Amino acid sequence: MLLIIEKNTIIELARLVGGEDAARVMKLLLRKPGIVDEEMASRLKMDIRDVRKILHKLNEMGILHYELSRDKETEHRIFKWYVQEEQITGFILTNMKKILDRLKEKLESEKNNQYYWCGTLGHPRLLFDEAMDRLFRCPVCGKPLSPHDSEELVKALEWKVSEIEKALEEMTKLKKVEEIEQGKK
Ligand SMILES: [Zn+2]
């Protein structure tokens, strides 16, 4: 049995690894297996060096592979890129578990702690002791710190955790089926 993973999951994975550009590269690769890097760059209107950096990164993770050939006229090396869809499941499972653990930790610490914050995005939120040490002033801008109501953040985290748990459960089921199928051979 060939395990088919949702294309969106693969794109999401690329996004986690390399940001929005990596997600765009992955999307194109899934649509055009065997595409060469120059064509990717021109289609995505990206710098060829950025495209190669992303390809290299994804290749190191083992979720892409390439075929090397030579242009008959110019003798230039040509790399044709493919997504390793069959090997991606295991990779996603391990990494999603890691992401899930991190999110859960964050969720716990949001639930169990009261943070103090100046209200400016990007400025640190401090725990009570740290805030007291700084006399309830933001270490970056000096504005007064007030208790940060993290209800929205907690809700968002809880939602994300449940989404990932659902996805993992689905994939684990699929993987078991695949192993049983392989065992029969
Ligand atoms: Zn501040």
pLDDT in tens, 87-132: 777 777 777 788 889 889 999 999 999 999 999 999 999 999 999 9
E strands in the chain:
35-36, 64-70, 77-83, 115-117, 126-127, 146-148
| 137 Cα: distance to centroid of ligand 1 (angstroms) | 8
| 117 Cα: distance to centroid of ligand 1 (angstroms) | 7
Q: What is the CATH number of domain 7-83?
A: 1.10.10.10
Which residue ranges of the chain lie beneath pLDDT 50? Answer: 1-3
**pTM score of the predicted model:** 0.55
For the chain, domain boundaries: 7-83, 96-184
| 120 Cα: distance to centroid of ligand 1 (angstroms) | 5
